[in-house]
A and B are shown apart, each in its own frame.
Chain A
């Protein structure tokens, strides 16, 4: 019975696979957090920055979004080593995913801030709020709610993109599974297993996102 055999193999390799899953989660969380922080800055500059700064950041974002994330990962991995920045594959991968995430979050932030009607800023000014006051108590709370659904999608994109680190030798879940396949040749069962675990991970993220969305929704 091949399914039973596959389950046995998975069970036998449980610690290695769990370590892989742990890496996948750690890589994703770090990339998403750092990428979001960087992305907020990108978005703010794109919205409010002076023309020169805006131009530079626009190039940054367009370049990153025009490049496939796989190329970004390979480029970071190979390039960082020749310019004497000693990063492990693990770190180079997280660096690439962080850049990727930042450009996407930047565009989301820009879009949300632009979508808030001008009247909101005018109304905030008319009650005497400063630029920062307007931004933090009027614009940001509205923008964050708009950003949430797309941000959750970006998060799942990062989780999926983290599998690409397997190609540069980072033992995350996919490479962990591939190592088991190399020993057992159960590619059908184990690739299916990998896909299923990722499905569960992303499905959970999406559901959690929906839950938070409902929680913070403005009543109407």
Chain B
């Protein structure tokens, strides 16, 4: 193989790649924040006494988890306008990713809630907290700390999924990489740098998350 490596073209456009990486992180952060709210409600729905709520929650989770995310992205962006719901590319992508992550986080939160000893809820009730108060003050905070590692993994894979925003021309890292590839023909350099940026970003996020976990860990 005779290929002359020349990274100059990639370095010239490095600021574009960096801004793309930044946008990907923001997209993932906003989406997981919304996804957490959705996931929390659906997790309680799954554990609800009401059969209808349980069915709805299971239906949502199983529909989203078994559908390719690219189909969801295209559906939200291209098909929902037919129903009169017209969103910008970025908003549309965030909505998709939030609904998508919500389904995965539902599972995370549900298993976190189930794993808590039932006595905690009862202890909350005996000091006069309401069911809601017990959830807000006791069950959710403890569950949240326990599922932090799983939450972190979800965030990392969500961040990687932001690469798919390129499919609807959201200018994140993969979008810029494709553009640089086409404009400069420095194919190997472009994709090597782009994937290494993802790899290092994921590694840094993972390290940061471990620090957060240690910081939030319950002593003892």
Contacts and interface: CB of A to CB of B under 8 A. Distances in A.
Contact of A66 (B70, B82, B166, B199): B199
Interface stretch (A39-47, A48-56, A135-143, A197-205): A197-205
Interface residues of B, number: 42
Interface size class of A (residues with CB under 8 A): 35 or more
Interface in A139-187: 156, 159-164, 166-167, 174, 178, 181, 187
Contact of A71 (B3, B70, B74, B198): B198
Contacts, number: 115
B67 A198 contact: yes
A195 interface: yes
B70 A188 contact: no
Contact of A187 (B79, B174, B198): B79
Contacts of A66: 160, 195, 198-200, 202-203
Interface stretch (B38-46, B129-137, B143-151, B186-194): B186-194
A68 interface: yes
A79 B198 contact: no
Contact of B174 (A62, A70, A78, A191): A70
Interface of A: 62-63, 66-72, 74-75, 78-79, 81-84, 156, 159-164, 166-167, 174, 178, 181, 187-188, 191-192, 194-195, 198-199, 201-203, 206
26 contacts: A66-B160, A66-B195, A66-B198, A67-B198, A68-B161, A70-B164, A70-B174, A71-B163, A71-B194, A74-B181, A75-B192, A79-B191, A82-B3, A84-B1, A159-B68, A174-B68, A174-B74, A187-B82, A188-B79, A188-B83, A191-B75, A195-B67, A198-B67, A202-B66, A202-B67, A206-B66
